Amino acid sequence: MLGSMNQYLVEGGYPLRGTLKASGNKNAALPCIAAALLTDEPVILRNIPEIEDVHVMIEVFRALGGTAEALGGHSWRLVSDIKSCVLPSDAAEKIRASILFAGPLLARAGKIVMPPPGGDVIGRRRLDTHFLALTELGAQVYTADDFYFTAKKLTGTDIFLDEASVTATENAVMAAVLAEGDTILNNAASEPHVQDLCRMLVMMGAGIDGIGANRLVIHGRKRLGGCDYTIGADYMEVGSFIGLAAATRSEICIEGALPGDLRPAKVAFGKLGITWEHEGRTLRVPGNLPLKVNHDLGGMIPKIDDAPWPGFPPDLTSIVTVVATQVEGTVLIHEKMFESRMFFVDMLIGMGGRIVLCDPHRAVVSGPARLHGADLRSPDVRAGMAMVIAALCAEGNSVISNVYQIERGYERLVDRLLSLGARIRGRVGD
């Protein structure tokens, strides 16, 4: 682990102020690390966040025979020399992104053995789409206690994914770039991190048409070369800090944010009266926003719902739910993609939030509510950050446990919040 703390102690109710630099996109860094297996030439990745999930992916990469050298400045030099196709269970079970080694290893070595991937506990996260895509390309998949993938040869084909899964799209693309012939990938995910991976692969010599669209055409190559690639900013992290600024009535500037990646979030946050300003790649959230729900036509209660890109990102539903507790008016939050993600609102209700959890996917939030400090627990990366935001805008003291889940996705969070004037510290708990 990056640190030994497993709890945060938070004293809330104080406004924050200052400037943060956006970290690199976690969800781009992880597949890009796996993609380094597609060549035996050096791959340099820049703007890689210093978070737990990255360190686990590096650990797995090394266990497979690769070398990974930290260059400083959030950069890594990776060289693949595949000596094993068996993923170490202790590391692979920590994060869901371990499944991303399947496509590259099938393409380079023709086999992989791995345990079921771990990660956030936010409901059923099916792997069927991965199996569908890889078997269409010519792989055989066997499941027992572990997953066994084999492929004598991968051949390009026309694939229609049964859902626009981000990681299944990434696995399919990484397998297809070294397949024989062309692959057409329909109903592909198109999130900014998928685009980052595709651009990296093109820099390595891959042929990919349609980047940013839901139909990708991949032209198989016999081999790929190395590259020097810089991933984009983490718009999930930026969205989280926007939510933090709004909920605590604080003026916060975020450097390095990409305006185009935030357009879906701007629509959703705008329903809560939240706006921000851009000057170049610096984003500023004012500290005096009149937080009030903007009703739909006819005075109807608005809805904030998530969807695959370019819809509102599901990873920000937890954040926007907390923010809504501090906004005047009523809003419906509809999380359509994971059936357990909204259960964290029980903790918000315990803090004084005025929320009705209608079912596993929908919550009606009325505000503003005076939140009070409480003992909290982080169930996953984003809900954990939502708990931090709730604790910082609540009156009194809060203790947040299981913060490993938060630090999987947020770099040096305590230090960065302290730089804004937050009253937070980490400790080793019981």
- The residues that are catalytic are 120
Q: Can you tell me whether residue 242 is helix, strand or coil?
A: helix
Alpha helices in 83-188 (DSSP H): 89-92, 102-109, 128-136, 166-176
Q: How many residues does the chain have?
A: 430
Buried b (16+ CB within 10 A) or exposed e, 137-156: bbbebeeeeebebbbeebeb
- The whole-angstrom distance between residue 382's C-alpha and the CA centroid of its chain comes to 8
Cis peptide bond upstream of 379, omega within 30:
no
Please list the residues that pair with 229 across neighbouring strands: 45
How, if at all, do strands 67-72 and 17-21 pair?
Answer: unpaired
Alpha carbon distance 392, 77 (integer Å): 38
The DSSP-derived string for 360-378 is TTEEEEEE----B--EEE-
Alpha carbon distance 408, 95 (integer Å): 9
Q: Are residues 320 and 302 in contact, defined by beta-carbon separation less than 8 angstroms?
A: no
| Phi, psi torsion values for 421, nearest 5 degrees | 95, 10
Q: Which long-range contacts (CB under 8 A, 24 or more apart) does 341-346 make?
A: 341/122, 341/123, 341/314, 341/317, 341/380, 341/383, 342/317, 343/379, 344/318, 344/379, 344/380, 344/383, 344/386, 344/387, 345/321
Neighbours of 336 (CB within 10 A): 15
Which DSSP state fits 213?
A: S
Buried b (16+ CB within 10 A) or exposed e, 311-334: ebbbbbbbbbbbbbbbbebbbbbb
